[in-house]
Amino acid sequence: MEKRKLGNSGLEVSALGLGCMGLSFGYGPATDKKQAIQLIREAFEQGVTFFDTAEAYGPFDNEELLGQALEPFRNQVVIATKFGFKGGKTELGMDSTPENIRAVTEAALKRLKTDAIDLLYQHRVDPNVPVEEVAGTVKALIQEGKVKHFGLSEASADTIRRAHAVQTVTAVQSEYSLWWRAPEKEILPALEELGIGFVPFSPLGKGFLTGKIDEKTTFDKTDFRNVVPRFSEENRKANQALVDLLAKIATEKDATSAQIALAWLLAQKRWIVPIPGTTKLHRLKENVAAAEIKLTTIEFKDIGDAISQIDVQGARYPEHLQKRVDQ
């Protein structure tokens, strides 16, 4: 797989990474550990060198899983993890105090079986701790050799600028896909100006853009899509028009809907690296193959223009989670 650099940082990763959250958290029961390790190692064999986790995924289980799975080739991969919640539990609220950042980093180093974290993100911006203080803490950890690069997740352009002034931000991670294009307004221009890489999570719309979900689909009771307004039965039905259009475009390119959705993101900028997640080997291979699809400038524009004509229904987060998004 081709490599990309996240902004001006020099951090080189595969054009597509692997979002590992769903192996342990968020989308129903955790994947069997042996199968999860097999999937992560198969991703590496397929050319993926960028793996995304967080202490909150489990909590802790996902980091431990990656530590074990990636240990045989640790020096050939880039691992990104995150701090920012009390005790690693999202339901307890945010905690980006310097003490917690340091404690999480030390624990993550052990779970990931590594001497340094390649990319450490603030998982969500903490309104109670100035981002300058967060950036300063990570800067100290970088100077100590425990962290190599600093990142932010779901941060506003203003917050990114403030953090970047204290410690160079290597990457920003936020949701971005053909059905959530808000980052195009302020985030992408700011990142281009500052030389920061962009890592879209949920690049397949939490599975919806694959075309494998419709209004009749039922989710496991522990699947967080049950509380996402965009995934209500009514909204899934309304949003089917987007999926149908994507399927038509994919057929014309002899590709799958998921591959076109990923190829469109890859065609945006050389410093964009999507991190689709999956628990299935055949989906992994399908996603990886998207890196080989080249869209012409006209195809790229036509896809974006066509999709933008469809008014997507439903908020991407329920109200209590939307409050955690930095405005």
Q: Which residues are catalytic?
A: 57
Tokens linked to 171: 């990457």
Is the Cβ–Cβ distance between 270 and 4 less than 8 Å?
Answer: yes
Residues 6+ positions from 64 with CB-CB distance below 8 Å: 58, 111
The tokens for 211 are 């075309």
Helix axes 33-45, 61-70, angle to 10 degrees: 50
* Burial readout 276-294 (b: 16 or more C-beta within 10 A, e: otherwise): bbbbeeebbebbbbbbebe
**Residue 55 contacts residue 80 (beta carbons within 8 Å):** no
Number of H helices, E strands in the chain: 12, 9
The DSSP code for 32 is P
* 205, 228, 260, 282, 308 from 249: Cα distances, Å: 17, 27, 8, 21, 14
